[in-house]
Amino acid sequence: MFDWDEENIGHISSHNVTPQEAEQVLRNNPADGGAQNVDGEERYVDVGWTDAMRLLVVITTARGDLTRVVTAYDPSQAVREFYLRTRGRLP
C-alpha cells in the first residue's frame, strides 16, 4: 500500500510524474539505487520502468506499513547509464 496526500502528489507532479507511474516503477522490479538518511529518515532509491517504458528514479520511505513516495523524477544521463549497466539491457 502507498501513502499519498496532496503534498507528495504535488511534489512529484512538479516533475511531471503521476502517482501511478511511481507505483508502476516500484512494482516492475526496479534496480536498487541504495539508501540514504535524510534528517533521521531512511530513504530508498529505486530506478526502473513504468508500464509505458519511461525510466524514473523513485525515492521512498516507510511510514508504518505504508510506502510513501518522497519524490520521483526522470534520471540524469549518469543514472540512466547506471541502470543500463546494472541491468545489462532494456526490460
Q: What is the pLDDT of residues 26-43, one digit of tens each?
A: 999 999 999 999 999 999
Task: Report yes or no on 15 lying in a domain.
Answer: yes
Q: Are 46 and 32 in contact (CB under 8 A)?
A: yes
What pTM, to 2 d.p., does this model score? 0.92
Task: Report yes or no on 11 lying in a domain.
Answer: yes
Task: Report yes or no on 66 lying in a domain.
Answer: yes
What percentage of the chain reaches a pLDDT higher than 70? 96
| Domain containing residue 36 | 6-87
Task: Report yes or no on 29 lying in a domain.
Answer: yes
Domain count, the chain: 1
Q: Are 15 and 71 in contact (CB under 8 A)?
A: yes
Task: Report yes or no on 1 lying in a domain.
Answer: no
Question: Per residue in 60-78, is it b (16+ CB within 10 Å) or e — as a string?
Answer: bbeeeeebbbbbbbebeee
Task: Report yes or no on 77 lying in a domain.
Answer: yes
* Beta-strand runs (E) in 1-91: 31-38, 41-49, 55-63, 66-73
41-52 confidence digits (pLDDT tens): 999 999 999 999
pLDDT at residue 81 in the model: 86
